[in-house]
Amino acid sequence: MPFEHNTLDRIDALYDAGRDFVERPQIHGTAVETEFNVCAFDEWRRKVNDLLYSLEGCDDISYQRFSKEVTTPTVRDLEKGLRILAAVRDEVACALKSPGTDASGKGRRCGKMSASYL
């Protein structure tokens, strides 16, 4: 699937928003909270889901993993989501650099990231 050039900007913006959640833990007394504003997390999660769906559809491994594994507003789930977004960003960046097919006619040299990378 051909990607639009602003796709990288959209991914970067969502990555930065997720990173802000992780790097700005809420402090309650002397303990650092491991959960975040549920509404803000849900909005971020919905935007990432929508983006991943728009890129490759519901059969895409990145979309499926994000949908199933990033479900609660915790640092652990946010970090999973950030790893998935980083993998998708790498894939999109590679596809934008080398569109079309390689010399063998088999497609781009950069393929889908393996599930273990995510």
Residue among 70, 111, 99, 84 at smallest CA distance from 2: 99
Task: Tell me the pLDDT band of 110, cut-offs 50, 70 and 90.
Answer: low
- Mean predicted confidence (pLDDT) in 54-76: 91
pLDDT (tens digit, 9 = 90+) per residue, 21-35? 777 655 544 445 555
pLDDT (tens digit, 9 = 90+) per residue, 83-102? 999 999 998 888 888 766 44
**Residues 69, 38: Cα–Cα separation, whole Å:** 16
- Mean predicted confidence (pLDDT) in 65-85: 91
Q: What percent of the chain has pLDDT over 70?
A: 69
Half-sphere exposure of 57 (CA within 13 A, CB side): 2
Task: Tell me the pLDDT band of 105, cut-offs 50, 70 and 90.
Answer: very low
Q: Is 36 a residue whose pLDDT tops 70?
A: no
**Residues 98, 42: Cα–Cα separation, whole Å:** 34
Residue among 90, 80, 67, 70 at smallest CA distance from 3: 90
Q: Work out whether the CA dihedral 89, 90, 95, 96 comes out positive or negative.
A: positive
- Mean predicted confidence (pLDDT) in 23-51: 74
Tell me the pTM. 0.75
CA angle 20, 15, 40 (to 5 degrees): 55
